[in-house]
Amino acid sequence: MVTSDEDAKKAYADFEKVRRTIYMDHLSPQVTSSVIKAALAQCANVVDVEFIVNYTIPYDIPSAALVELDDEIQAKAALDLMNDFPFIIGGMPRPVRATCAKPEMFRERPPRPGIKKEFRWVKQEDGTEYEGMKKLRILAKRQEVENMALIKNQLEEEKKLAKQQQELLDGNYNKYEMLENVVQNGNMKSLAQPGR
């Protein structure tokens, strides 16, 4: 006879979406779902991109995403590609990390069997529990301030990197345009003649 606990364990283990999904971290703020689809198009067909919201900051900056692919084989190929080569955005590599997704990362996952959640308010009369929660609250506020400083620093670095990338691309474009003009004007033959 099958119990509901065994059914819950089976549903949790058989959560199929997790097998064909990869988790991408350290994404640039300029990354969109179309950028991810284009970057992974050489090895996989992207079915869905779900950006993970960071609720600890007031900015809407995607720094991580769950990328669902067609099947497990494509997910493995994408992981191998991402771990062997840099992720390309705007012609320049990004240090993006990719790992296999875990069931805990999904909102629509089945509940984990055997875990009982219990919530209650902690009052000042609870003594040590209240003091522990007070310390955690102070720690969380300090972490929020540190996190905001890191995010601001990251945004400034992203702007600098984007400016450098654009200057490099503009410089390369100007060089190719100049070479094309030399070839089209026929000046290439005169440059190749000796004595000039």
Per-residue pLDDT tens digits for 43-53: 889 999 999 87
- DSSP SS3 for 69: strand
How many residues are recorded in the chain? Answer: 196
What integer is the mean pLDDT of 61-82? 87
Report the pLDDT value the prediction gives residue 23, as an integer from 0 to 100: 93
| Of residues 14 and 122, more confidently modeled | 122
Mean pLDDT is lowest, of 50-59, 63-72, 141-150, 163-172, for 50-59
What integer is the mean pLDDT of 21-31? 83
| Of residues 2 and 25, more confidently modeled | 25
Beta strands in the chain (DSSP E): 21-25, 46-51, 64-69, 87-89, 92-94, 97-100
Nearest to 179 by CA among 167, 191, 195, 194: 191
Per-residue pLDDT tens digits for 99-113: 898 888 887 777 777
Alpha-carbon torsion 32, 34, 36, 38, what sign? Answer: negative
- Please tell me the class of the 12-105 domain: alpha beta
Report the pLDDT value the prediction gives residue 90, as an integer from 0 to 100: 56
Rounded to an integer, what distance in angstroms lies between the CA atom of residue 8 and that of residue 110? Answer: 8
Alpha-carbon torsion 41, 51, 94, 103, what sign? Answer: negative
Report the pLDDT value the prediction gives residue 114, as an integer from 0 to 100: 75
The answer to whether residue 54 scores a pLDDT higher than 80 is no
Per-residue pLDDT tens digits for 123-148: 888 888 888 888 999 998 998 888 88
